[in-house]
Structure 1
Amino acid sequence: MTRAARLSDLAVAPTLTTARLRLRMPVLADFEHRAGFYASDRSVWEGGPVSRETAWRIWASEVAQWPLMGAGPFSVEDTDGTYLGEVGIYQPEGYPKPELGWFVVPEAEGRGIAREAATAVLHWARDTLGLDHLVNYIDPGNARSIALGERIGGTRRSDLPGTEPGDVVIYHDLTALTAEAAR
C-alpha cells in the first residue's frame, strides 16, 4: 500500500467536513454508542451481540489503528455536534486489504449519513494516503450495507478474498473518483 502522507503525521484523525457532517477523531464518550450497538440485535452482521467488554476490545483496537497504522475510524457528527456514527478505514490482523467500514446510530439510518461520510473518507484515503482502492467485507445477509457499498461506486468482486467464508467483497477504485461523487 503506497501512502502519500507519513504515518507519523497521522497519529490522530484529521477533521473532515461535508455539507452536513464533521468527521473527527473518536473520543472516549463515543464508546457508549458502540457498546449500545454491540449489545443490540443490529450487530448481528458484525458478530454480535457481544458483551460490553468485548465491544470495548473491538472499539479500542479500531481507534488504536490511528497511531499504529495512520488510519482508522472517524466519529461522525452533525453540525450541532450530535454523534451519528463511525466511518473509517479498518485493517485489523487477518484482513487481506484495508476496508472502508461504517456504523450509524438508529436515529441516523436512512438519512444518507453513512453515504456522505463514506464518500468523504474515500476521497481522503485517495488524496491524503495515496490509496488506489479500498474494499468492503460484508456478510451476505446485510443487504443494506451491500447496497450502500454499491451506491458509493463499489463493484462486487468474487475473485477477492473476504475475512469470512461467503463474504461479499465490494471493491472501490479510488482512481476513478470524481469531484462530483463527493457531493
Structure 2
Amino acid sequence: MTAPILHTKRLTLRMPILADFEYRAAFYASDRSVWEDGPMPRAQAWRVWASEVAQWPLMGFGPFSLEDRQSRQYLGEVGVYRPEGFPEPELGWFVLPEAEGRGYAAEAARAVMGWVRKTFGWDHLVSYIAPGNLRSIALALRIGGRKVTDRPGTADDDVVILHDLRGIA
C-alpha cells in the first residue's frame, strides 16, 4: 500500500519519495531535532525515516509528505506513526523552518485526521510530545487536542494529547 493523495486548500499530501529524505536528514543533523532524539548521524536518520515510510505497506498508514499545491515545493511531513513501542497510533508532524508559523502543519493535520476517521473509523489519535517542545504542544492544542494524563506516552515525561475524531466528517 502507498499513501493516498489528499488535497487541502493550499497543500498536496502525498507518499514520501526518496528525495524527501534529504530534508529529514538535514533536520536530524540540526539542533531543531532535539525533541526527536536528535541530533543524529545521517545513517541513523535514514533508519528512522525509512521505518516510518515503511509503515504504509505494513500498517496502511504512515507519513504524508507536504507540498505547496501551486509551487510543488516540499514543506514537511504530517502523518500517523506507530513504531514498535508506541502505545497507540500517533499524529505527528515536521515542517521545514521556512514553513513554520504559516499554518501548514495544522492544515495538513486536520486533513490527516479526517482521512483517518473516514478510512479506519478510529475515534481518536494521540500525540506524544516532549514537555519542552512548546510549539508542538501549542499546535496539538490549536487543532483541537487536549492534554490527558490517563494514557501512557513513549517516555515517562511525554505530554500526551488526545485528538477526538468523532466530530470529524
Could you say whether these structures have the same fold, taking a TM-score greater than 0.5 normalized by the shorter chain as the test? yes
Distance 2:78 2:17 in 1: 14
Where in structure 1 are there 5+ consecutive unaligned residues? 1-10, 179-183
Q: 1:150 aligns with which of 141, 144, 150?
A: 141
Q: 1:13 aligns with which of 3, 27, 32?
A: 3
Distance 1:176 1:165 in 2: 30
Q: TM-score, normalised by structure 1?
A: 0.91
Amino acid at match of 1:66: W
SS at match of 1:128: helix
Report 1:48-127 matches (<5 A).
Answer: 48-79=38-69, 80-127=71-118
Q: Which residue pairs with 2:162 in the alignment?
A: 171
Matched, 1:133 2:124: yes
**RMSD, aligned CA:** 0.7
Amino acid at match of 2:148: R
Where in structure 2 are there 5+ consecutive unaligned residues? none
Matched, 1:30 2:20: yes
> Kindly, what percent of the aligned residue pairs are identical?
68
- Please list every run of at least 4 consecutive aligned residues from structure 1 whose deviation after the TM superposition is greater than 4 angstroms: none
Q: Number of residue pairs matched?
A: 168
Amino acid at match of 1:43: S
Deviation at 1:70, TM superposition (A): 0.2
Deviation at 1:133, TM superposition (A): 0.6
